[in-house]
Structures are given as structure tokens and as C-alpha cells.
Amino acid sequence: MKEKVILAYSGGLDTTAIIPWLKENFDYDVVCCCIDCGQGEELDGLEERAKLSGASKLYIENIIDEFCDEYILPCVQAGAVYENKYLLGTSMARPVIAKRLVEIARKENASAICHGATGKGNDQIRFELGIKALAPDLKIIAPWRMTDVWTMQSREDEIEYCKQHGIDLPFDASHSYSRDRNLWHISHEGLELEDPANEPNYDDLLVLGVSPEKAPDKAEYVTMTFEAGVPKTLNGKAMKLSEIITELNKLGGKNGIGIVDIVENRVVGMKSRGVYETPGGTILMEAQQQLEELVLDRATMEVKKDMGNKMAQIVYEGKWFTPLREAVQAFVESIQKYVTGEVKFKLYKGNIIKAGTTSPYSLYSESLASFTTGELYDHHDASGFITLFGLPLKVRAMMLAENEKNK
């Protein structure tokens, strides 16, 4: 009996060409596995394509709710944003994909998992760290790094290879943006984006929405409620998280929300330029933070910001299945207890504008914050506080003055 390999299959040209390549070079029984994280119409026609290319079986695994509840939500609650801009759309999906690939490998008694990630990107790291953490015994095959066996260097090469193996597929050699899509976002790389000096061609590039210039001239109001850090309703309607994100994507896309142009630092050491569309995610993270401003104290907010940056780094580097991620997530979850309330805002030409926040756990005191004197605050107390708070500064200044005097 032939050994089985589980191929992370997207249905694109790369992973389609990998199927006959695996059979020819390793004599594997190829089982394709497409993980549905919300790619939408990209999944159409996959089964026929996989079988035509020589796969013995195709799994299409819908993990949208698991992705939202167990991977997206912890990152939203942490405020995890990589390098101040990237909302981790691709990064968050890779560990849950790796987890399901391992589960299918166990079910099929496979000996290896193959992915189509390139040798220059982050995804190879994310996939492989996930697989190593969950199934250290499984072999990992990365064709793009096996340059002695994988000799194809272009789309033309891959198309020709497929034709030589009797696979006539609806792909052409014309180059387009390199994209990754799931429920949370879509990323764009390539073409004019490869030169940071070029302005993105948003008319051709955008998929989930429009540019702010083309958004409606009238603001759109949105109301959300949260319970213990978990989004519960959108505009008065109770929904599960995947439904909320889906609806926010429509609202945000229509209003030009969540378009990010970034030159980021990849894990492998190079800089890369890409455009991310994250309309619903941008709104959701802003709403979460808007409520946290009201209910979290200053010291907790400071530490939470550090933990958010750490969480972003962990997820970006593919270290989801680690004790560190579990510890950071445990801290974040512990402070979500009182993140309950209602958030209102309006969307207008790429902007999310506050329109009011309420919470039964609000730490905001109108009597304290107003310019009139409240019962809890005596202005005279500020004098002693400032004296002690500024004491190190005063002592240092006196020392410097004394040294200057003695010169």
C-alpha cells in the first residue's frame, strides 16, 4: 500500500501542479484537504479539479466558526496588531489550518503533510511550527524549497507541467496579484505593489470594498453590544461571531473602512509590501477598544498594550501552539470580565467615529472628570501628590545645579 500525504489544497495553480509532482517523485497517494476559513467562491469546482489532477480524495473542511471563536476572538480581545497596522488575517488562520491538516492526517494514517508555501514567506514557518507542535512524527514536504526536485520557476512552467501530465486546467499564464482570503480579510501582493514608490491601483485591487473616495457621502450608524469581551449583537440583532464579522465586512467595505498599505518585516528577514483589506475586523477591534477605554484602569491598559504587541508577534511568527501564547491569552481573558456594554459609532469614508459608549462597569465618573469640584476629589491633595511625584526630577535638577556651581 502506498504511503499517504495530506496536501493543503487551495485549488490554485501551485497546489494543483503539486498533486502530480508528489505522485511522480514520491509515489504518494495524495489526499487533498481544503480548509474553508471563509474563502467564499474560491472553493467552487475544487473537487473536480483535485480528482482531475490525480488526487485520490478531497476533504473540504468548514472551520469558519472555530476560526472565529478560538483564533480571531483572542486576538481581538488582546488588541493584537503587528507593526501598528496588520490585523493578522493570514497569520491567525494558519494555526487552525495546520491543526485540521494534522487531524485529517491522523484519520487517513498519512505519513506526511505537504504545503505550497514559498521559501521566502512567513506561511512556511506558520504551517510547519503548527505541525511540529501537534504531530512531530509527521514528515513535512515543502516543494518550493526542494529546488533539486521542484524545477518549476513560473506559472508558465506549472501550466506546461500539468499539460504534460494530461491535466487541462482553466489557468493562464497572465500574472495577477497574489492574494490570500478568509472571513477576516484579504491580502494583496505583487504587480505595482512590489515597488513601494508606486501608489496602489485601488480600482483594480480592492475586493471587499471601495476606497474612501468612492464611499457614500452620508455616514452610517452602527451599534454593537459586548458581554465579557465577546460581541453579542449588531444593530440590535443577536448573532454569532462569524455572522457579526460577515455583516461588518459588508458595512465596512461599503464605507471604505480597513484598507492598509504596509511595508512589513517578515520573519525570514526581508521587508515586503502589501495591501490588506480588513473592513469588518477593523470595526470590531475599534469597538472592543472603545469599550475597554471605559472599563479598564490605567495600569491594566498599559500592560494590556504590551501583551497585545506580544500576542501579535507570537501569532505573526507562527507560535500559536506554545505556552507563551496560552499565558498571554490567559491574561487577556482575565481582564475581559467587565468588558460589557454598548458601543455606538458611525462609518464615514474610511473613518470610524465614536457616537457614544455605555457600560454598567464604567470607571468614568462625571463628577470627577468635570471642572466642578466633586465629593471624591479635593484640589488641595494635588499639591502633595505633585511634590512626591516630581521629587526625583527636583533632586536631579538640584544635583546638576550643584555640580555646575562647583566647576
Instruction: Give the least confident one: 12-16, 93-97, 104-108, 388-392.
Output: 12-16
* The predicted structure's pLDDT at residue 175: 67
- What confidence category does residue 166 fall into, taking pLDDT thresholds of 50, 70 and 90? confident
Beta carbons of 379 and 289 less than 8 angstroms apart: no
Average pLDDT of the segment spanning 279-288: 98
Residue intervals of the chain classified under CATH 3.90.1260.10 are: 178-296+335-358
Q: Express as a percent the part of the chain with pLDDT over 70.
A: 97
Question: Which 8-state DSSP code applies to residue 71?
Answer: I
Q: Tell me the C-alpha distance between 109 and 104, whole Å.
A: 8
* 94 is an active site residue: yes
Considering 94, 100, 126, 181, which one is annotated as catalytic? Answer: 94
Please name the amino acid found at residue 96.
Answer: V
pLDDT surpasses 70 at 173: no
Mean pLDDT over 256-263 rounds to 98
**Does the pLDDT of residue 319 top 80, yes or no?**
yes
User: Is 168 noted as a catalytic residue in this protein?
Assistant: no
Rg (CA), the chain: 26
Class of the domain covering 178-296+335-358: alpha beta
What is the pTM for the complete model shown?
A: 0.94
Q: What is the mean pLDDT of residues 16-20?
A: 96
What is the number of other CB atoms lying within 10 angstroms of the CB of residue 16? 29
Please report the pLDDT score of residue 82 as a whole number: 98
Residue 294 pLDDT class (50, 70, 90 cuts): very high
Q: Which of 10, 14, 126, 359 is catalytic?
A: 14
Supply φ then ψ for residue 181, to 5 degrees. -130, 140
Question: Is 365 a catalytic site residue?
Answer: no
163-191 average pLDDT score: 87
178 part of the active site: yes
Residues 6+ apart with CB under 8 A from 273: 189, 193, 194, 195, 196, 261, 262, 263, 264
Which residue matches cell numbers 478531497? 58
Query: Which residues in 37-144 belong to E strands, given as ranges?
Result: 57-62, 112-114, 139-141
Instruction: Determine the Cα–Cα distance for residues 197 and 273; give it in Å rounded to an integer.
Output: 10
pLDDT of the residue at 373: 58
Confidence at residue 347, expressed as pLDDT on a 0 to 100 scale: 98
111, 178, 211, 362: the active-site residue: 178
Q: Residues spanned by CATH 3.40.50.620 within the chain?
A: 4-74+88-164
What pLDDT score does 380 carry?
Answer: 86
pLDDT in tens, 125-155: 999 999 999 999 999 999 999 999 999 988 8
Q: What is the pLDDT of residue 401?
A: 96
What does pLDDT average to over the chain? 95
State the Cα–Cα distance between residues 16 and 12, nearest whole angstrom.
6
Which pLDDT does position 46 carry in this prediction?
Answer: 86
Question: Which residue out of 10, 123, 181, 359 is catalytically annotated?
Answer: 123
Tell the CATH superfamily of the 4-74+88-164 domain. Answer: HUPs (3.40.50.620)
Lowest pLDDT segment from 28-32, 37-41, 264-268 = 37-41
Q: Mean pLDDT, to the nearest integer, of 88-93?
A: 98
CA distances from 274 to 3, 196, 265, 319, 398 (A): 39, 9, 11, 22, 52
Tell me: the pLDDT tens digits for 66-86? Answer: 999 999 999 999 999 999 999
Determine the average pLDDT of the residues in 175-197: 93
Say yes or no to pLDDT of 232 above 80. Answer: yes
Instruction: Provide mean pLDDT across the span 354-370.
Output: 88
